[in-house]
Amino acid sequence: MTAGRRLRDIIAREGLAHAMAAHNPLSARLAERAGFHAIWASGFELSAAYGVPDASLLSMTQHLDMTRAIAERVALPVVADIDTGYGNAINVMHVVAAYGRAGVGAVVMEDKLFPKDTSLLAGGRQELVRLEEFQGKVAAACAARPDPDLVVIARTEALIAGAGLDEALARAHAYVAAGADLILVHSKQKTPAEVMDFAARWDGSRPIALVPTAYPELTEAAMKATGKIGLVIYGNHAIRAAVTAMQEVFAQIRRDGGIAQADRRIVSVEDIFELQDVPAMKAAEKTFLR
């Protein structure tokens, strides 16, 4: 069964699928072990891991290579963040075909101009492309997917751009008409009222996807109760958790002038060996090294 088929089945079976962000295979494996349904191959997280802004600075190759590495190391379907599609509709065809061959279950593409600013950046450039242009990009993505079950998620940034609920709904309907399988609607409001209003007015022709970074009090139970939200993406918690932990441990080592106290707070080297599948490697050595 392909990754796209697995993701579709999870949404159909569970009503709401939950995806955790990852920026490398290790963070993806930890998310898998924690019980998430899918992995979000996050452009924001990978940009942060490279130490650069999430502003279309990473190349497609950089993101694709890491996404492929993640897909190879987890059994969960991977949802790939392809930003604005790296160009026009023709670029999108090339990009979606490449990500499909890399084994992802879904791609998410947003309707902003290239180069884009990350959505929640105060004072960021949040400029939308023409509705008709993005319809063409969505249709191109659907035409180019090597697996017909690969899920094409169209992300409208109309609320982020301040264009209002009516514009967000109009764009969402247009993107569904172009072939989108899900509609991701994003908001920078500090409460979920705006996205829940969108859900209430949505016709339900396709499931909605949400990224509740700005309004963390919205629960999965509340999302599922709408009957219209099929996917929730926790878009940046892996990198934020990693930064929090590293800051705390690094600071303690400097305070103590050594690692004795910090060492008690972190996982063992053996735990890392296990995450790397070292025991399986050693077992294979006994079988095959001659």
Catalytic residues, which ones? 54
Distances (CA, A) of 122 to 17, 117, 164, 186, 243: 29, 10, 18, 15, 21
CA distance 111 to 135: 9
CA distance 198 to 102: 33
**Helices 43-50 and 60-73, interaxial angle, to 10°?**
110
Both structure tokens of 162? 């301040």
What's the angle, vertex CA 22, arms to CA 16 and CA 24, rounded to 5? 150
Q: Please say whether the dihedral angle defined by the alpha carbons of residues 92, 3, 103 and 274, taken in this order, is positive or negative.
A: positive
Chain CA centroid to CA 148, Å? 20
